[in-house]
Structure 1
Amino acid sequence: MRTIHALYIFALILLLGACKKEDFLDRFPQDAISDPTYFKNENDLKLYLNRFYDALPVQRGNNEANSDNFAQGNRNTFLAGEYVVPATDDNWSYAGWANIRYVNYFLQRYNRAEMDAALKNNYAAEGRFFRALFYWDKVKRYGAVPWINTDLTDTSTAILFGPRQPHKQVMDSVLADLNFAVANAAEATNTQFAGRITKDVALALKARICLWEGTFRKYQALGDEQTYLREAVTASETLINSGRYSIYKTGNPQKDYYNLFIQEELRGNKETILAMRYIKDVSMHNLTRQISDVWPALTKNFVRSFLDKNGVPTALSPLYQGDETLDKEMIDRDPRFSQIVATRGFSFTNNPNGTRDEMTLPRIPGVVTGYAAVKNYSPDPAQWNANQSTLDLFIFRYAETLLIYAEAKAELGEADQAVIDKTINKIRERVGMANMVIATLVKDPQSIFPTLPVLLDEIRRERRIELVGEGFRFDDLLRWKAGNLINNAETILGMKLTPALRAQYPTNQVSNVQVDANFYIRVYPNIAARTWNDKMYLFPLPTNELTLNPALLPQNQGW
């Protein structure tokens, strides 16, 4: 023991001596960001903000297992009513709030940069764009949350342990951030900001958030929805009137929609407002591999929502051939049907030697509903290698902006034929689908929104088809207060597997596939339907956080 103490004393003497030499311990770090020496120029601001770009909401064609569009083999525990209040939640943890802290840190310091004020504000606009995005995600999940817009330090007791602010109050602050971003972000034509947050990107996010908030306030009876619906119209209309964007089409209506989502380069594509670019051996992803490993399975409920190509619901259309087989079900349907759902002749693999793996029968049980979603799936084997796909993915797509404009105008009672012609019908033109004509619309007797006016009903249908898989559907159910659509038995059913069709498969391949009394595949044989509970419009706060910070109480209703 005495020897150890002697060594400690000797080490301490050496350490104190080193401290005196050139005041070494008072020097700023040489290999990391140091507050007093950073935020001095444009490059500092740009590099700091780069950390947030990976958090942008990339749209993936298999991103809606939490909705009525998909029924995967493994049940979604939240929709199954099996989610319990957790002790901890990564979305509320220290890491879950990190990006908001980092943005606030930036916004307190960016003004130090020695540069033109307008250029400096471009980067402040980026910061506030991201704060708006991050806070919107918190509100969607939890409702009321603490609003933090200053630095968090080791003495920030009031902030760290402060109460939640009401949903509407937080979203009004989100709108203020969005307005700042739109007013100060760089113009989309400024090549210096190519691939970064520009005014157009800020407008796209503003349109998305304001439509969500306006309709949420309306259907959840919070009130004051008009302001947000009007802001959604203004933001989307500004993008439309810019003339910079249009619906991608090459004159091939049977392929253009499918091909849009398997492109190596979306830069220059006029439907792209912002895309995540991937480059071989630099930045790659795993989406095609994920799709082929666990195939996203569309529900009967979703597939039934396709109109016939004449624009008429199947329940009213003389073109509809029924659904005894998938071959019949696709006849004369919306041309997007066979570009979203794998049908006979779809090639799963285009081999380098020219051979193809073409679909004949639906690939059950690998695709548990029989309806295989092929959006974002590439038949090129080079895209299947783990984490080596180089297909670009959308973040903001112009078709969504058109749908936002149409829906917001309809919610305001202002959607006339001119609005539909420059939105819905521009989207349908890509695939050669019949135009929507307001005067001839007839309410679908099988509508999932039986009390909704027919125009708004059909706009929602168009949104469901065009944006399927891109991650919007659960948010849509929340804002429309339509969670009870999950109760529909068809949201966990697949295609018809009649005895005649079953006989075409090897017995061991389909022997365990169960069907209901009408021969529709039952994805979860132990339940007849999922059950929605209105508490599920919000997630619960984790119990550990409520224990540590009683100011966060009460817990979200029903939990």
Structure 2
Amino acid sequence: MRTIHVVYIFALILLISACKKEDFLDRFPQDAISEPTYFKNENDLKLFLNYFYDALPVQRGNSEGNSDNFAPGSRDVFLAGEYVVPATDDNWNYTGWSNIRNVNYFLNRYQRAEMDATLKSHYAAEAHFFRALFYWEKVKRFGAVPWLSTDLADTSTAILYGARLPHKQVMDSVLVDLNFAVSNAAEASNAQFAGRITVDVVNALKARICLWEGTFRKYHALGDHEPWLREAVTASDELIISGRYGIYKTGNPDRDYYNLFIQEELRGNTESILARRYIKDVSMHNLTRQISDVWPALTKNFVRSFLDKNGVPTALSPLYQGDETLDDEMIDRDPRFRQIIATRGFSFTNNANGTRDEMTLPRIPGVVTGYAGVKNYSPDPAQWNANQSTLDLFIFRYAETLLIHAEAKAELGEADQAVIDKTINKIRERVGMADMVIASLVKDPDSDFPTLPVLLDEIRRERRIELVGEGFRFDDLLRWKAGALINNAETILGMKLTPALRAQYPSGQVSNVQVDANFYIRVYPNITNRTWHDKMYLYPVPINELTLNPALLPQNMGW
């Protein structure tokens, strides 16, 4: 029952969202539930907290257009260096702080409920979980931010936003919230909390946040990184030793990874720590339709990062057949290659009459790089109807937890073969990929991280492949202080389109597709590479908010 089903109550929505700036939390609107009659019992607490579940980070296979993994046809404004300080930003303006304000509202009133104290603490743990999540998102985007923990009885700018506190100070408070949640959340075995925030879900978030913060502090030279890495190890280890989770596999290594992301029911799937359930005519989404409308186009840089199936980088492997064509490129590669990228024989459509629309040539120019990402894409036409897909989507996936554990242990210098066997090699086992053997690792001469120890380098590669498209890559570049990887010309190049391959397409289909001197597709013909500026490690504070509250100064560096 590690799933989520959000209940919407109209009056509750009014209670939380109808408040405007001029009267926020001054009093409840007359047409909503009144404060004196609310927070009286368990149902009140549960319904209030249900509002926040929609903010959980659902993992979608097309959500990394802002990284070096994908090159969307419309280039990312931020990575293109064209982003300017906005007048306002929905991540900072009044609405942007509403979730944090509402969590605080709950935390200052939930004790009124007349119910079992332990049960009451379970719901308080949910609130602390959400506040930790919301604040981490603020810190990732803006760095120093105000910390709000009390009711906002005064609507003045100073009370509403306050002064910005340093990154480390805010994140230390985030860790306090996470630890409270770990100590008080319901056990995963508690049927009453099936589909809600349990201690396992909290540990999954804690592991994710602590790895991010520990490596951010290390690579940005902020200091005090080791305790965070140890917290990441502890949280991930709790999930590993629980025995409740495992890597999904059915004995079909050529399909299991792909099939994992096109399931209509993740309830009971051992890889699901928490997933978003979608039910026909109740709650549906549009992801498969979005993918079929605008195909996620993977970059040459990402595709080159696949090892061969023997676990050796292509620059060193005797198995590598080159990249003159996609058919050559996929030979003897990591088996996830064909489960992440559409290759010859991939079925785009499985019709009810038994016919299939199978790929022969890469579908350019529709897929602007030629490398079509197929994660979360279902060939079932029933999933293509607008806003009617019922495929469940992960929020926390066990494979990520294993990758967190391996990386945190390696950062601490404690990743021996036993650690790799219970993490990386468990993931590789699903697809029949060669084990990672520490003693046999050889530094890739084409590594994006030439000065990084080979073990960390290979763990980062494994993370990039296994989690591609799920929304982690830009955050990873931030925490590793690796934004300059965006400068690599291959992050905006696609597959090779040689004259011989071009001639196989119908006349005119690819006539406007431009290539570079080596015949790699140029996604953006007017530029040959992007330029990273270190100010891009943070977004700027919007102009209106700085004007209203000078206490928010100084502006983030470089903006």
In the superposition, the TM-score normalised over structure 2's length comes to 0.94
Q: Give the distance between the partners of 1:177 and 1:156, measured in 2 at CA.
A: 27
Deviation track 1:20-63 (CA, whole Å, cap 9, x = no partner) reads xxxxxxx9978522111100000000000000000000000000
Q: Give the distance between the partners of 1:541 and 1:29, measured in 2 at CA.
A: 31
Per the alignment, residue 447 of structure 1 pairs with 447
- 1:157 and 1:495, CA in 2 relative to 1: closer, same or farther beyond 3 A? closer
Deviation track 1:173-229 (CA, whole Å, cap 9, x = no partner) reads 000000001110000010110000000000000000000000000001100001100
Per the alignment, residue 92 of structure 1 pairs with 92
Determine helix, strand or coil for the equivalent of 2:427: helix
Q: Give the distance between the partners of 1:126 and 1:161, measured in 2 at CA.
A: 24
Code of the residue aligned with 1:242 in structure 2: it is S
- Counting only pairs closer than 5 Å after superposition, residues 502-541 of structure 1 correspond to structure 2 as 502-541=502-541
Q: Is the Cα contact below 8 Å between 1:123 and 1:185 reproduced in 2? A: yes
Per the alignment, residue 467 of structure 2 pairs with 467
Shift of 1:318: 0.3
Per the alignment, residue 214 of structure 2 pairs with 214
- 1:145 and 1:428, CA in 2 relative to 1: closer, same or farther beyond 3 A? same
Per the alignment, residue 406 of structure 1 pairs with 406
Per the alignment, residue 116 of structure 1 pairs with 116
Q: Is the Cα contact below 8 Å between 1:233 and 1:405 reproduced in 2? A: yes
In the alignment, structure 1 residue 183 sits paired with structure 2 residue 183: yes
Per the alignment, residue 383 of structure 1 pairs with 383
Per the alignment, residue 288 of structure 2 pairs with 288
Code of the residue aligned with 2:203 in structure 1: it is L
Q: Give the distance between the partners of 1:123 and 1:160, measured in 2 at CA.
A: 26
Q: Is the Cα contact below 8 Å between 2:272 and 2:394 reproduced in 1? A: yes
Determine helix, strand or coil for the equivalent of 2:508: helix
Code of the residue aligned with 2:315 in structure 1: it is A
Determine helix, strand or coil for the equivalent of 1:388: coil
Q: Give the distance between the partners of 2:520 and 2:545, measured in 1 at CA.
A: 45
Shift of 1:162: 1.6
Q: Give the distance between the partners of 1:173 and 1:34, measured in 2 at CA.
A: 31
- Counting only pairs closer than 5 Å after superposition, residues 197-346 of structure 1 correspond to structure 2 as 197-346=197-346
Q: Give the distance between the partners of 1:463 and 1:33, measured in 2 at CA.
A: 46
Determine helix, strand or coil for the equivalent of 2:218: helix
Deviation track 1:503-524 (CA, whole Å, cap 9, x = no partner) reads 0001211000000000000000
- 1:222 and 1:497, CA in 2 relative to 1: closer, same or farther beyond 3 A? same
Q: Is the Cα contact below 8 Å between 2:158 and 2:549 reproduced in 1? A: no
Q: Is the Cα contact below 8 Å between 2:146 and 2:161 reproduced in 1? A: no
Identify the range of structure 1 (474-483 vs 86-95) with the bigger mean alpha-carbon deviation: 86-95
Identity of aligned residues (%): 87
Per the alignment, residue 429 of structure 1 pairs with 429
Larger radius of gyration: 1
Q: Give the distance between the partners of 2:368 and 2:155, measured in 1 at CA.
A: 54
Q: Is the Cα contact below 8 Å between 1:63 and 1:469 reproduced in 2? A: yes
Code of the residue aligned with 1:440 in structure 2: it is S
Q: Is the Cα contact below 8 Å between 1:148 and 1:159 reproduced in 2? A: no
- Counting only pairs closer than 5 Å after superposition, residues 8-157 of structure 1 correspond to structure 2 as 32-154=32-154
Q: Give the distance between the partners of 2:345 and 2:497, measured in 1 at CA.
A: 19
Identify the range of structure 1 (218-227 vs 148-157) with the bigger mean alpha-carbon deviation: 148-157
Deviation track 1:458-495 (CA, whole Å, cap 9, x = no partner) reads 00000000000000000000000000000000000000
Q: Any stretches of 5+ residues in structure 1 without a counterpart?
A: 1-26
Determine helix, strand or coil for the equivalent of 1:331: coil
Q: Is the Cα contact below 8 Å between 2:154 and 2:160 reproduced in 1? A: no
Shift of 1:155: 5.4
Q: Give the distance between the partners of 1:161 and 1:372, measured in 2 at CA.
A: 44
Q: Give the distance between the partners of 2:278 and 2:67, measured in 1 at CA.
A: 28
Q: Give the distance between the partners of 1:40 and 1:381, measured in 2 at CA.
A: 47
Deviation track 1:396-425 (CA, whole Å, cap 9, x = no partner) reads 000000000000000000000000000000
Per the alignment, residue 397 of structure 1 pairs with 397
Code of the residue aligned with 2:47 in structure 1: it is L
Determine helix, strand or coil for the equivalent of 1:318: coil
Q: Give the distance between the partners of 1:88 and 1:245, measured in 2 at CA.
A: 43
Per the alignment, residue 160 of structure 1 pairs with 160
In the superposition, the TM-score normalised over structure 1's length comes to 0.94
> Aligned residues, how many?
533
- 1:237 and 1:508, CA in 2 relative to 1: closer, same or farther beyond 3 A? same
Shift of 1:152: 1.1
- 1:360 and 1:155, CA in 2 relative to 1: closer, same or farther beyond 3 A? closer
Determine helix, strand or coil for the equivalent of 1:505: coil
Q: Is the Cα contact below 8 Å between 2:277 and 2:393 reproduced in 1? A: yes
Determine helix, strand or coil for the equivalent of 2:509: helix
Identify the range of structure 1 (210-219 vs 503-512) with the bigger mean alpha-carbon deviation: 503-512
